[in-house]
Amino acid sequence: MSLAASARMPQVRALATDALERRAQTADTAAAARLGAAHEKLLLQDIRRFLARPAATAALPSSPAIPPGPPIGEPDPDYLGLEPFCSLAGGR
């Protein structure tokens, strides 16, 4: 039920809901055939209650902000306008 309620992908929620509906049908016939299987009846009630009031879709978290400066691996050491520490400029 948790997977059917909070999966991020709609296909996963659809498959989980379908599996719950099929299990509810199985529990309904099994409970009637055994005349009082408490577990099957409770399972059927839980699934019906869940399917009657499904939970809201889970929200995706936002992406973090891009940090300042050049990307990792960027060869430009002068992105702040400063001369690099190991510069050979000036004939040194």
Sequence ranges of the domains in the chain? 2-52
Distance between CA atoms of residues 71 and 87, nearest Å = 21
Report pLDDT for 61: 82
CB 4 within 8 A of CB 47: no
Report pLDDT for 68: 76
Q: What is the pTM of this model?
A: 0.42
Report pLDDT for 53: 83
Report pLDDT for 83: 62
* CA atoms 74, 79, 80, 81: torsion sign: positive
Note down pLDDT in tens along the chain; length 92 residues.
Answer: 787 888 888 888 888 889 988 888 877 666 566 655 777 788 888 888 888 887 777 777 888 888 777 667 666 656 666 665 665 555 55
DSSP string spanning 10-72?
A: HHHHHHHHHHHHHHHHHHHHHHHHHT--HHHHHHHHHHHHHHHSPPPPPPPPPPPPPPSSSPT
